[in-house]
């Protein structure tokens, strides 16, 4: 695996300064993506207890591992935003940054005196990303929210699970990551507009995680609007192409295969020694195959069950049929393609020494991003950051004694 080192800022966003006062996953994930591309991100946490993400499993020797990835490439400071004394510190930080990322419930920052007007009076060009579950308006705006709530409300969870069975949540809060992706894209779009119109005030970006999940469902809304159709669960069956399922091999492994075009279906039949069914009237095109997918799927499953995963891989590769074994994370680390691509990188960490995590996505030909360091220990950069803002050691010690930092 490639080893990255703590290097000076590099990447297409080198020079961009971001103040991340958000918590848990979605907002910090958005800021982390921008940090991967070279942005200088300062992460703010509550003094003593830190971000709630630190409490979530898994841990090693008391060190939070999830935190290390979601807050990589960031400087870590502590600041109690609820205290009036924080305002003098925050004012200097806001003046020194281009973007503010927050994900408090709407109105929370206003209640602490940190209004958009106050922020823009300090830094008129400041771009403010507001990540929330339901948005800054509407009857649900004040509700508490969690990833599973957003996924259920958007319609995503309704289509996950076995046919006729209970709706299933995924084993990871995917809506937080998707919301973070939209948040990062929103920041870049707002910064581009500001570059085109440098005299304008920085924008506030209202990013609803529920709406981000709804957006990635693509055709489900228009299908309902125009056809009255309500998609539901189909297990591992593809609802759009056949055959498409997860199949078990002779050695107990699982493989995911989809034959979404006619030419791929014909090649799959050749690979599995089933050429006689390629001309079957029930399977002449994808529409016919979807209509008869259950009987077709049984035939494909029976053919695959006679092969080991390596035999199946060899046959499908030979006939150019796309598939993948269902990898666990150990398989991901061992996969020759991902190893060749250095998709997992080794990263220095102040608490654990060296840790391995995902590399930067996507890759830039001329200004590559990098993973410079894992997420910082609580308040690791307090002295460095606050001194850079002009606070003396005496002032910093006084703020620490009051519990402001």
List residues with catalytic annotation. 176
Tokens read off for 267: 């090649």
CA 2 to chain centre: 22
**Cβ of 122: how many Cβ atoms within 10 Å?**
15
Q: Which of 323, 268, 326, 325 is nearest to 300 (CA)?
A: 268
Please report, for residues 174, 304, 310, 334, the alpha-carbon distance to residue 328 in angstroms, rounded to integers and kept in the order given: 17, 20, 16, 10
Tokens of 23: 């918590």
Determine the distance from the C-alpha atom of residue 105 to the mean position of all C-alpha atoms in its chain, rounded to a whole number. 20
What's the rounded Cα separation, in Å, for the pair 171 and 266?
35
Closest CA to 54 of 33, 71, 32: 71
Give the sheet arrangement for strand 74-78, strand by strand: 74-78, 40-45, 17-20, 99-102, 127-132, 204-208
Q: How far is CA 257 from the centre of its chain?
A: 25
284 Cβ contact partners less than 8 Å away, ≥ 6 residues apart: none
Closest among 333, 335, 219, 313 to 257, alpha carbons compared = 313
């Amino acid at each position: 695996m490639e080893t990255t080192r703590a290097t000076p800022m590099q990447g297409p966003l080198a020079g961009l300064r971001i103040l991340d006062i958000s918590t848990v996953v979605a907002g910090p994930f958005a800021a982390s993506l921008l940090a991967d591309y070279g942005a200088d991100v300062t992460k703010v946490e509550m003094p003593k207890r830190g971000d709630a993400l630190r409490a979530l499993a898994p841990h090693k020797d008391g060190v939070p591992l999830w935190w290390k990835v979601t807050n990589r490439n960031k400087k870590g400071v502590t600041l109690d935003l609820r205290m009036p004394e924080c305002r003098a510190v925050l004012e200097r930080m806001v003046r020194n940054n281009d973007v503010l990322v927050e994900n408090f419930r709407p109105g929370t920052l206003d209640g602490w005196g940190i209004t958009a007007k106050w922020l823009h009076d300090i830094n008129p060009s400041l771009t403010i990303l507001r990540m929330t579950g339901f948005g800054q308006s509407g009857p649900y705006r004040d509700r508490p929210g969690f990833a599973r709530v957003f996924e259920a409300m958007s319609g995503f969870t309704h289509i996950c699970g076995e046919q006729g069975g209970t709706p299933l949540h995924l084993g990871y809060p995917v809506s937080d990551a998707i919301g973070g992706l939209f948040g990062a894209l929103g920041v870049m779009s707002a910064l581009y507009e500001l570059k085109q119109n440098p005299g304008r005030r920085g924008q506030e970006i209202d990013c609803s995680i529920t709406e981000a999940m709804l957006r990635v469902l693509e055709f489900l809304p228009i299908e309902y609007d125009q056809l009255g159709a309500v998609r539901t669960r189909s297990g591992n069956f593809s609802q759009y192409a056949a055959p498409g399922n997860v199949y078990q091999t002779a050695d107990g492994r699982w493989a995911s295969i989809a034959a979404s075009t006619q030419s791929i279906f014909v090649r799959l039949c050749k690979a599995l020694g089933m050429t006689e069914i390629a001309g079957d009237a029930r399977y002449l095109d994808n529409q016919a195959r979807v209509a008869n997918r259950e009987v077709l799927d049984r035939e494909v499953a029976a053919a695959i069950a006679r092969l080991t995963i390596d035999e199946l891989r060899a046959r499908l590769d030979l006939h150019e049929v796309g598939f993948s074994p269902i990898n666990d994370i150990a398989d991901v680390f061992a996969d020759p393609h991902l190893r060749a691509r250095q998709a997992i990188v080794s990263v220095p960490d102040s608490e654990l020494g060296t840790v391995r995590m995902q590399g930067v996505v996507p890759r830039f030909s001329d200004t590559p991003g990098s993973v410079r360091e894992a997420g910082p220990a609580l308040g690791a950069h307090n002295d460095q950051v606050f001194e850079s803002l002009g606070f003396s050691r005496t002032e910093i010690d006084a703020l620490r004694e009051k519990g402001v930092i």
